[in-house]
Amino acid sequence: MSFGKGCHLHLVDGSAFIFRAYHALPPLTRKSDGLPIGAVAGFCNMLFKQVEDAKGDDAPTHVAVIFDYSGKSFRNDMYPDYKANRPPAPEDLVPQFPLTRDATRAFNIACIEKEGFEADDIIATYARQAREAGGRVTIISSDKDLMQLVGGGVEMLDAMKNKRIGIEGVEEKFGVGPERVVDVQALAGDSVDNVPGAPGIGIKTAALLINEYGDLDTLLARAEEIKQPKRREVLIEKADQIRMSRDLVRLDDDVPELEPLEALELKDPDAEVLLPFLASMEFRSLSKRIADTLGVESPDIPEPPAPAASSEEAAAPDLPPIDPDKYERVDTMAALARWTALAAERGYVAVDTETTSLDEMQAELVGISLAVLPGEACYIPVGHKKGGADDLFGSDELAEGQLGLDEVLAALKPVLEDAAILKIGQNMKYDAKIFARHGVKVAPIDDTMLMSYALYSGLHNHGMDTLSDRYLSHEPIPIKSLLGTGKSAITFDRVPVDEAVKYAAEDADITLRLWQSFKPQLHRAQVTTVYETLERPLVPVLAQMEMNGVQVDRDTLSRMSNAFAQKMAGLEAEIHDLAGQSFNVGSPAQLGEILFEKLGFEGGKKGKTGKYSTPADVLEDLATEHELPGKVLDWRQLSKLKSTYTDALQAHINPETGRVHTSYVQTGANTGRLASTDPNLQNIPVRTEEGRRIREAFVAPEGKVLLSLDYSQIELRILAHVAGIESMREAFRDGEDIHAATASEMFDVPLAEMTPETRRRAKAINFGVIYGISGFGLARNLRIPRAEAQAFIDRYFEKYPGIKEYMNDTVGFAKDTGFVQTLFGRKIHTPEINAKGPHAGFARRAAINAPIQGTAADIIRRAMIRMPAAIEGLPVKMLLQVHDELIFEVDEGAVEDAIAAIRAVMEGAADPAVKLSVPLVVDAGQGANWAEAH
DNA sequence: GACATCACG
DNA sequence: GACGTACGTGATGTCC
């Protein structure tokens, strides 16, 4: 078939696929010989997905995968340094390059590369040819260099975000249309590809200039007219360099001797070619999936004799496909007995609950699913109501064909509580709390979400959808397809039982499969100890804390709300008066207009949406010149306190318990910290007097007291330990004021003569170091000139050379291995650490911070895990954790005993796994409310 | 749903 | 020499 009108050509940027696949997957190797094949596996998956996704109305008629030819291109003849900044490809990726070509051909897709040309040039050439022939083109890539090709039937598709990029998308990115993209790129340059461009000019400025003068040649010809002296000089002096840059970025759309378009026609893969290739790679599950799709028998891939393997793809046994139609609906006690017997026989069972709410404290149990083997799963409905989504009011009557909740729980309880049967769940804390409310204590447990967290923190989130997609290549039935969204959403008890069976049992099936995949991984990744000592045992502790809840006094909050509302109304009137007009004070956009246009203040910066930005520090500066900004700041503070705290907290008081029950997300922070949600009780105000009063509403019941115990300077102590800073360790051992001690050492001031200002600066630097300090950041924080801030930092590193060394070592380790570690072995992955551009700075600082923040998080986790045993027998309940602080409720008479017991656990929490060279010190407070206790 | 803002350690 | 810059979170309101 010749290429012409009505044809649709897909051009896949092969190199982008390879790199994405490489970074997305753990380093898999071929089981039989250890050949690295992770990128090939990911590449095949993506290619297959691409082919499958493209079926339908908009299907391509022609497809090609375009690769870069290794080696130099014609651009290096123009400019020898072109792409000279590129690091070499990772060692274990190099042997995979030719395999991805083989894979492409095995899929029966045209595989194109050409010596002396980059993939982009070939893509440009084909795009032009296809356009001229009257066809359409989709370029599967997000590379901005390709944006110059968009238009006239050519579009890009960002496969990652599944977003199409047309002319508008290009304008959004470059501020000009596709035909002027090269002009903008020529001016802005590109640090990744080492295109020089015009120094000092970025994309924004470049677009501005091009839009004003029409095109680059006109701009350069009329450069004399430009008002800004710097820009004018650069454009005149660097004109040749800019023209050369344009030649570098302009794609060559006339690559000679390419395969003709006709040769790219899409053909079905030949099973006789493709399957043997996949078999040779030992991709078992992918072979199976593809064989199923092609409707042929999947090849038998023999297991190699050696058991050593690190490829889950290869290691996965031949699993039955996930098929929701095969799950069993359990509606007789005999059937239920059969399932409990199966669980007992195997010694493990995956469990999942379906309920009416995400709030475990209020959710009603609707059904329970179990899985004992991959593909063998059931659902036990107990609380489904009659009448489906169409029934406006539904019915409170139970649907037919369900066992009673009580009899089901009675039958399951012996299994769920049996120490010899492992209960496997995805986010088991949720299900355990549901069961706990029905008097069932689920134990022992394993949790696939936590396994994923121990294995892959920093790489991706740990929700079931993500895990299923990544590790089982399967997209579970979306809950939205059952419940709908928004206002019309129904609760799970309104879902027809037959649909619920498929969804719920599939979740248990997936959980079981994930568990089988993760279990051996833990050991290989050497995170078994992390999982067993820092993750798994924390689940019951957090569940208990959440169920305990904290008493919050509604009247106190309500009174404060009213007072805030009154003050806000007064401020609002004053603000409108000062502005000379009425506007929404809560709208930064409207406020920006008033400040920077109507009132004419200087220094208004616009954000990415083109609106003025009005954060607190900007308003603080303006407050010296005008009354309005200060009033807005006051209004904002009150607005925050009212909406986020005094109002929202009241809504979170549980009607049954009269207390507020937060949820901790154990996998919420990459570093090992917890996150608190619904409501977040880890950000209750404390820094301002007015805010702190909110804490007065967190109270102890009659006859009890709130205790707060917090680690003093735990992160700095950890820094002193890991970086081996002897003088700082000594200061901690001697119980000195650490910031004053730092100041004394840095500025050669005796402790006795320390001024608050000097101490404040040292404190800012101490914190800055933990965050991966920069001169700019410190300067902004201390509001001092950048040079001065940099001088402080230099001085600090001079005094504490161990810190510089620690930073370099940590970043080096991250670059080599892709992760950093806490003292307790927790891994935090840093996939961006070898990236180029602004990402790199963030990744670098995060890598420096993660072991410190993470070690502190590990220590308090250890304390929390040991706490129940330590306070056993005392009238004490652990209620809350705020990163370095634990809050307890205790009988008045037992305060001293409780503090002693808790402090001992917290101060000794690192032992015996890690011997710290600095003491851990815990401060304690008590009172009738949290404000007093803190 | 993205963005800006601000609460905490 | 410029770039863009402290680390980790969650909740709220506005605006499209």
* Distance in Å, residue A709 CA to nucleotide C11 C1': 26
* Distance in Å, residue A107 CA to nucleotide B2 C1': 39
A133 closest CA partner among A61, A181, A194, A30: A61
pLDDT, average across residues A247-271 = 90
Looking at the DSSP assignment, which residues form a beta bridge with residue A155? A138
A743 closest CA partner among A729, A725, A756, A724: A756
> Which nucleotide across the nucleic acid strands is nearest to A828, CA versus C1'?
C8
* Distance in Å, residue A169 CA to nucleotide C16 C1': 17
Q: Is the CB of A613 under 7 A from strand B?
A: yes
Q: Is the CB of A623 under 7 A from strand B?
A: no
One DSSP character per residue, A383-403 reads SPBSS-TTSSS--SSBPSS--
Reading the block at residue A592, the tokens are: 């920006």
- pLDDT of residue A52 exceeding 90, the answer is no
- pLDDT of residue A303 exceeding 80, the answer is no
Q: In the prediction, which pLDDT does A281 show?
A: 87
Q: In the prediction, which pLDDT does A234 show?
A: 85
Q: Is the CB of A243 under 7 A from strand B?
A: no
CA A403, A406, A412, A416 dihedral sign is: positive
> Model confidence at A36, in pLDDT bands (50, 70, 90)?
confident
Q: In the prediction, which pLDDT does A164 show?
A: 84
Q: How far is CA A597 from CA A286, A590, A635, A866, in A?
A: 60, 10, 21, 59
Reading the block at residue A221, the tokens are: 């010809």
Angle between helices A96-106 and A271-281 (to 10 degrees): 150
Of A46-55, A83-92, A906-915, where does mean pLDDT reach its minimum?
A: A83-92
Residue A50 per-residue DSSP state: H
* Distance in Å, residue A614 CA to nucleotide B5 C1': 9
Q: Is the CB of A352 under 7 A from strand B?
A: no
> Which nucleotide across the nucleic acid strands is nearest to A849, CA versus C1'?
C7
Q: Is the CB of A619 under 7 A from strand B?
A: yes
Q: In the prediction, which pLDDT does A161 show?
A: 67
Q: In the prediction, which pLDDT does A315 show?
A: 46
Report how far residue A90's alpha carbon sits from residue A587's, in angstroms, rounded to the nearest whole number: 48
Q: How far is CA A760 from CA A689, A717, A754, A765, A774, in A?
A: 20, 18, 10, 9, 17
Mean pLDDT of chain A: 91
Q: In the prediction, which pLDDT does A928 show?
A: 97
Q: Is the CB of A683 under 7 A from strand B?
A: yes
Residue environment code for A732-747, b if the CB has 16+ CB neighbours within 10 A, otherwise e: beeeeebbbbbbbbbb
Cis peptide before A36 (omega within 30 of 0): no
Protein residue closest to B8, using CA and C1': A683
Q: In the prediction, which pLDDT does A394 show?
A: 66
Angle between helices A775-782 and A786-799 (to 10 degrees): 120
pLDDT, average across residues A37-52 = 85
CATH superfamily of A311-525: Ribonuclease H-like superfamily/Ribonuclease H (3.30.420.10)
Of A50-54, A454-458, A852-856, where does mean pLDDT reach its minimum?
A: A50-54
Q: Is the CB of A607 under 7 A from strand B?
A: yes
Protein residue closest to C13, using CA and C1': A586
One DSSP character per residue, A466-505 reads HHHHHHH---PPPTHHHH-SGGG---GGGS-HHHHHHHHH
- What is the tens place of the pLDDT at every residue in A784-794? 999 999 999 99
> Which nucleotide across the nucleic acid strands is nearest to A612, CA versus C1'?
B4
Report how far residue A387's alpha carbon sits from residue A394's, in angstroms, rounded to the nearest whole number: 5
Q: In the prediction, which pLDDT does A83 show?
A: 76
What dihedral do alpha carbons A175, A178, A181, A183 form, nearest 10°? -110
* Distance in Å, residue A927 CA to nucleotide B7 C1': 23
Residue environment code for A318-335, b if the CB has 16+ CB neighbours within 10 A, otherwise e: ebeebebeebbbbbeeee
- What is the tens place of the pLDDT at every residue in A835-853? 887 788 999 999 999 999 9
> Model confidence at A610, in pLDDT bands (50, 70, 90)?
confident
Alpha helices in A736-822 (DSSP H): 738-747, 756-770, 775-782, 786-799, 801-817
A32 closest CA partner among A269, A244, A279: A279
- pLDDT of residue A391 exceeding 60, the answer is no
* Distance in Å, residue A860 CA to nucleotide C5 C1': 30
- What is the tens place of the pLDDT at every residue in A397-417? 999 999 999 999 999 999 999
Report how far residue A881's alpha carbon sits from residue A542's, in angstroms, rounded to the nearest whole number: 9
What dihedral do alpha carbons A559, A561, A562, A566 form, nearest 10°? 140
> For residue A580, is it left (φ>0), alpha (ψ between -120 and 50) or beta?
left
pLDDT, average across residues A553-557 = 97
> Which nucleotide across the nucleic acid strands is nearest to A673, CA versus C1'?
C8
- What is the tens place of the pLDDT at every residue in A131-174? 999 999 999 988 888 999 998 899 998 776 677 888 888 888 88
CATH of span A8-264: 3.40.50.1010
A537 closest CA partner among A437, A412, A666: A666
* Distance in Å, residue A768 CA to nucleotide C15 C1': 35
A360 closest CA partner among A699, A647, A644, A657: A657
* Distance in Å, residue A632 CA to nucleotide C3 C1': 33
For A357, list phi and psi in degrees, rounded to 5: -155, 155
- pLDDT of residue A312 exceeding 60, the answer is no
Report how far residue A301's alpha carbon sits from residue A280's, in angstroms, rounded to the nearest whole number: 8
Q: Is the CB of A480 under 7 A from strand B?
A: no
pLDDT, average across residues A641-655 = 96
pLDDT, average across residues A553-567 = 96
Q: How far is CA A556 from CA A552, A553, A685, in A?
A: 9, 6, 15
Residue environment code for A906-919, b if the CB has 16+ CB neighbours within 10 A, otherwise e: bbebbeeebebebe
Q: Is the CB of A186 under 7 A from strand B?
A: no
Report how far residue A10's alpha carbon sits from residue A15's, in angstroms, rounded to the nearest whole number: 15
Report how far residue A199's alpha carbon sits from residue A201's, in angstroms, rounded to the nearest whole number: 6
Q: Which chain C nucleotides are covered by protein, judged by CB under 7 A?
A: 1-15
Q: In the prediction, which pLDDT does A878 show?
A: 98
Reading the block at residue A805, the tokens are: 């060394």
> Which nucleotide across the nucleic acid strands is nearest to A609, CA versus C1'?
B3
- What is the tens place of the pLDDT at every residue in A20-29? 787 766 677 7
∠ CA A431-A434-A438, nearest 5°, is 135
Q: Is the CB of A484 under 7 A from strand B?
A: no
Report how far residue A718's alpha carbon sits from residue A916's, in angstroms, rounded to the nearest whole number: 8
* Distance in Å, residue A608 CA to nucleotide C13 C1': 19
Protein residue closest to C10, using CA and C1': A680
* Distance in Å, residue A796 CA to nucleotide B4 C1': 35
- pLDDT of residue A265 exceeding 60, the answer is yes
pLDDT, average across residues A893-901 = 98
pLDDT, average across residues A190-213 = 83
* Distance in Å, residue A620 CA to nucleotide B7 C1': 18
pLDDT, average across residues A674-692 = 96
> Model confidence at A307, in pLDDT bands (50, 70, 90)?
very low
Half-sphere CA count of A289, side-chain side, radius 13 A: 15
Of A197-206, A443-452, A747-756, A889-898, where does mean pLDDT reach its minimum?
A: A197-206
* Distance in Å, residue A270 CA to nucleotide C10 C1': 51
Length of chain A: 934
> Model confidence at A80, in pLDDT bands (50, 70, 90)?
confident
Greatest alpha-carbon span in chain A: 91
> Model confidence at A309, in pLDDT bands (50, 70, 90)?
very low
Q: Is the CB of A616 under 7 A from strand B?
A: yes
> Model confidence at A750, in pLDDT bands (50, 70, 90)?
very high
Q: In the prediction, which pLDDT does A697 show?
A: 97
Q: How many other CB atoms are there within 10 angstroms of residue A521's CB atom?
A: 20
Is there a contact between A62 and A261 (Cβ–Cβ < 8 Å)?
yes
- pLDDT of residue A908 exceeding 90, the answer is yes
> Which nucleotide across the nucleic acid strands is nearest to A688, CA versus C1'?
B7
Q: In the prediction, which pLDDT does A531 show?
A: 97
Provide, rounded to the nearest whole percent, the portion of chain A with pLDDT above 70.
96
- pLDDT of residue A358 exceeding 80, the answer is yes
Reading the block at residue A294, the tokens are: 């092609």
Protein residue closest to B9, using CA and C1': A883
Give the global pTM. 0.70
* Distance in Å, residue A547 CA to nucleotide C12 C1': 26
pLDDT, average across residues A657-663 = 96
A 842-861, residues with C-beta < 7 Å of strand B: 853
Report how far residue A92's alpha carbon sits from residue A592's, in angstroms, rounded to the nearest whole number: 52
Architecture of domain A716-854: Orthogonal Bundle (1.10)
- What is the tens place of the pLDDT at every residue in A99-135? 899 899 999 999 999 888 889 999 999 999 999 999 9
- What is the tens place of the pLDDT at every residue in A484-504? 888 788 999 999 999 999 999
Q: In the prediction, which pLDDT does A6 show?
A: 87
- CATH class assigned to A553-652: mainly alpha
pLDDT, average across residues A376-395 = 81
Per-domain residue ranges of chain A: 8-264, 311-525, 553-652, 716-854
pLDDT, average across residues A193-213 = 84
- pLDDT of residue A311 exceeding 50, the answer is no
* Distance in Å, residue A260 CA to nucleotide B5 C1': 55
* Distance in Å, residue A430 CA to nucleotide C5 C1': 39
Q: Which chain B nucleotides are covered by protein, judged by CB under 7 A?
A: 3-9
* Distance in Å, residue A595 CA to nucleotide B5 C1': 17
